[in-house]
Structure 1
Amino acid sequence: MMNRFSNPVLMKELKLRFRAFKSFSGLMFYLAVLCIFVVGFLMIYTQFSGTAFFRPSDSFTMFSVLSVLQMALVMFITPGLTAGAISTEREKQTLNILLTTTQSSTQIIVGKLVSSVVFLILMLVAGLPLYSLVFLFGGVSPSQYVTIFLFYLVTLIAIGSIGIMFSTITKKTIVSMIATYGAMIFLGGITAFFFFIGVSMDQMATGYAGTQNLMPFSPITYFWVSINPGALMLSILYPEITNTIDSLVGISFPIWVVYLIFYLLITVGCLAIAIRKLRANMKTNR
């Protein structure tokens, strides 16, 4: 029974990843960036206030900026860990040997993804002592951090799945990384651009029709803002932003529900494509 659920690929990837010096150097760089930000934030705010006191409102501001910074670092690091998972094996000419083992395509893909996700979770957990300073000064509830952590988890799993998919369907790691970062730019930047364009067009349409008092209704604009990671994070940190979004699009449905469904579908779809194309690509490359 235990052999059925065992994944030698996952165990091998975990051992190699956690024994590598570059993994811990990357973790050190990640924590160094966060430490520099927290120390600098505390020094600047206490200096500008003229006292040694740090107010709870300032603590919440530090929590908000730290959460956004941590999300940016996660979105920047995740493609680098997953975009070369399969393509690197192909470039090293070890993928053929891996496919001749008794491991299924699902075990290989899931093992590669989970090993990367575990390391990313380690990075998030390693930043907990920095967040403890925020709880020390007050202004932030533990439920907010739990919500932010779940948001991180869903997002990085989806990004990792995208990287695994591109790593499987492309032959070169550099191409896979470019495609994955392009997907991140689309989800984080292009969707925000489409949202603002949609809001502007709706306001222009209501202005031309002379119906400024009517509530707009734009499902497409609502969809763009619902799948944007930055919009969801801001709505978690500042709940009043949700009311602003509702007034702009005319839909009062929680955006986190659409975000969760969309990114779960991305995760399942990308993993299904990667599993299906793993051995198909090898047949054509012999």
Structure 2
Amino acid sequence: MRNLFLNPVMNKEFKLRFRSFKSFLGLAFYLLALTILIVGFIYLQTQNSPMGLFRPDQSREMFMLLAFIQLGLILFITPGLTAGVISGEREKQTLNILLTTNQSSTSIIFGKLVSSISFLLLMIIASMPIYSIVFLFGGISPGQVLLILIFYIFTILVFGSIGIFFSTIVRRTIIAMVSTYGVALFLIGGTAFLFTISMAVNSMGAMPANNPVAYFFAMLNPGFILFGFLEPNAFNELSNQIGFGIDVPLWAAYLVSYSLIFIIMIVVSIQKLRPNMKVKSEA
């Protein structure tokens, strides 16, 4: 297990990604942008308030805004960070050299995955102190912040595994990136669109009551899950109105389905990393 996560591939990638001053400059600008957004939000709310107060419900709205901005950042950046890690090595003609080392395919895949998303994880964790500003005004508990952080990390790993998968099976980086963004777009926008369509069909009475079609689309959409974490009461009321007909919470279905996606993507990537070398060795 120690060799799986601490290997030369990961050490090399970490050095390449974090030795540049541009990386930390980008992190600084990101945190500065979040700070300006929070300060600007508080300023506008206090200016519009008759007594210049910033209420806990407004603090909660600010946290929800930041949470969805952070989720959008994750879903937009993660495919770009991981879709070229293997195909890029192939295009630079360094993949064969990497495969001749004593590193296993599993350690290479996990090393590439963790090192690719490490900077994004650093951005998420570094922004947590800024998120804690909401504690000054109330409206959000520390448990919710921790839950959102775990949700972010899990989502990053799953979408990163999708990028690794296409980077392994596709030879060209641009094609792998387009394919990864296509899948990500379906999981974000496609499921939301199909969820809306299924709800419209349900409201017209064209489907039987408690039809689970809308449930399956909702459980694959990270935005719905995040909304359920932030507003559990409102989401439960919405679920009751729609009549999903399934007692399993959406977050549990999201955890199971995305865990299966992660496992399948990683296993196939490991198997497809050295297919030609296995054939040659058997011959």
Q: Any idea what SS the aligned residue of 1:53 has?
A: coil
Q: How does 1:22-33 map to 2 (within 5 A)?
A: 22-33=22-33
CA apart distance, 1:276? 1.0
Cα distance change on mapping 1:173 and 1:281 into 2, 3 Å: farther
The residue aligned with 1:174 is 174
**Structure 1 counterpart of 2:218, which letter?**
V
Could you say which residue in structure 1 is the equivalent of 2:108? 108
Match of 2:221 in 1: 228
1:148 and 1:236 in contact (8 A); partners too = yes
After TM superposition, the score normalised by the length of structure 1 is: 0.90
Say if 2:4 and 2:106, in contact at 8 Å, map to a contact too: no
Between 261-270 and 174-183, report the one with greater CA deviation. 174-183
Instruction: Report the counterpart of residue 15 of structure 1 in structure 2.
Output: 15
Secondary structure of the residue aligned to 1:89 is helix
Q: Which residue of the partner structure matches residue 271 of structure 2?
A: 276
Could you tell me how far 1:26 is from its partner in structure 2?
Answer: 3.3
TM superposition shift of 1:221? 1.6
**Residues 124 and 23 from structure 1, CA distance in 2 versus in 1: closer, same or farther, beyond 3 angstroms?**
same
Q: CA deviation at 1:33?
A: 2.9
User: In the TM superposition, what is the alpha-carbon distance from 1:282 to its structure 2 partner?
Assistant: 6.9
Give the drift of 1:199. 1.4
Does the 8 A contact of 2:191 with 2:217 survive in 1? yes
Structure 1 alignment gaps of length 5 or more:
208-214
> Residue 86 of structure 1 aligns with which residue?
86
Amino acid at match of 1:60: R
How far apart, CA to CA, are the structure 2 residues paired with 1:136 and 1:43?
15
Pick closer, same or farther for the CA change 1:173–1:28 going to 2, 3 Å. farther
Q: Aligned residue for 1:193?
A: 193
Which string of whole-angstrom CA distances, capped at 9 and with x for unpartnered residues, describes residues 8-43 of structure 1? Answer: 211221122111344324323432332232122112
| Equivalent pair of 1:83/1:177 in contact (CA under 8 Å) | yes
Q: Among residues 220, 240, 243, which one is paired with 1:246 in the alignment?
A: 240
Query: 1:24-103 alignment to 2 at 5 Å?
Result: 24-103=24-103
Please name the residue that 1:212 is paired with. none
Cα gap change, 1:174 to 1:26, in 2 (>3 Å): farther
Aligned length: 277
SS at 2:204 equivalent: helix
- Could you list the per-position Cα deviations for residues 92-118 of structure 1 after superposition, in whole angstroms to 9, with x for gaps in the alignment? 111111011111111110000111233
Identical aligned pairs, as a percentage?
A: 52
Partners of 1:250 and 1:263 lie apart in 2 by 21
State whether residues 10 and 114 of structure 1, in contact with CA within 8 Å, keep that contact through their aligned partners in structure 2.
Answer: yes
What is the rounded CA distance, in whole Å, between the counterparts of 2:256 and 2:31 in structure 1? 31
Distance 1:235 1:281, change over 3 A: farther
Question: Is it true that 1:160 corresponds to 2:160 in the alignment?
Answer: yes
Deviation at 1:234, TM superposition (A): 0.6
SS of structure 2 residue aligned to 1:86: helix
CA contact (8 A) 1:78 1:160 kept: yes
Partner Cα separation in structure 2 for residue 107 and residue 264 of structure 1: 19
What is aligned with 1:264? 259
Q: Tell me which amino acid in the other structure corresponds to 1:98.
A: L
TM (normalized to structure 2)? 0.91
**Which amino acid is the alignment partner of residue 154 of structure 2?**
V
Contact 1:188 1:228 in 2 (8 A): yes
The one-letter code matched in structure 2 to 1:135 is F
Of the structure 1 ranges 97-106 and 115-124, higher mean CA displacement relative to structure 2 is found in 115-124
**2:148, 2:44 → 1: CA distance?**
25
